[in-house]
Amino acid sequence: MKNEFDNKTKEYVIGRPTYPEEVVNIIKELGIEKQSTIADIGAGTGLLTHLLCRLGCNVLAVEPNIDMQTDSDFAKEYINTVHKYKVKTTAGISDFDPHKEKMHFFGQDYTIEYYDYWHSVTEEGFIGGALSLSYTPSILDSNYEEFIQELRNLFFHYQQDGKVTFHYKTEVCICEFL
């Protein structure tokens, strides 16, 4: 389905401002609680979604235009940094074909459902998350301190109110075994 934002993602990211902080405050005044769910319909690249995640409730972002669902500069820089310092190759960062592997596992067609999730972390959580990956340097590796410094610089550049937010897309594969 074509719409007016097709082929305009780059311009959208560059030219669109974020939303005012007051939006979050107004929504808080409506009585939003941790158990609440907010839907960001037509979420685009997630400008408003990122603000809504600070409320601590469930946020559902819906964006029908696949081009508008592109990764942020933060995510791209994070991935590049992690890959730059990788100490080994694992399935998570290799060039294997995940569809082929799933077909081999299931032995038949399967259905995929995707769910968006945003996770905000402090500098400690950001660095700890990167260090928890099996393919990143440990304290015993010679480039450990350099890796930590690049992570700190990345965090400082993108943090808002002492946190950065990761966007995760959870994939759930559904197959009925007979």
- DSSP codes, the chain: ---TTTT-HHHHHHH-----THHHHHHHHTT--TT-EEEEET-TTSHHHHHHHTT-SEEEEE---GGGGPPPHHHHHHHHHHHHT-SS--GGGS---HHHHHHHHHSS--EEEEEEEEEEE-HHHHHHHHHTSTTS--TTSTTHHHHHHHHHHHHHHH-BTTBEEEEEEEEEEE----
Write down the pLDDT at residue 150.
97
Determine if the pTM surpasses 0.75: no
* Statement: residue 36 has pLDDT above 70: yes
Mean pLDDT of 92-97: 61
Q: 52 or 66, which is more confident? A: 52
Mean pLDDT of 146-163: 93
pLDDT above 70: percentage of residues in the chain: 80
Write down the pLDDT at residue 2.
47
* Statement: residue 72 has pLDDT above 80: no
Q: How confident is the model at residue 1 (pLDDT cuts 50, 70, 90)?
A: very low
Write down the pLDDT at residue 76.
85
Mean pLDDT of 143-163: 93
Enumerate the domain spans of the chain: 1-70, 71-178
Mean pLDDT of 131-143: 88
* Statement: residue 88 has pLDDT above 80: no
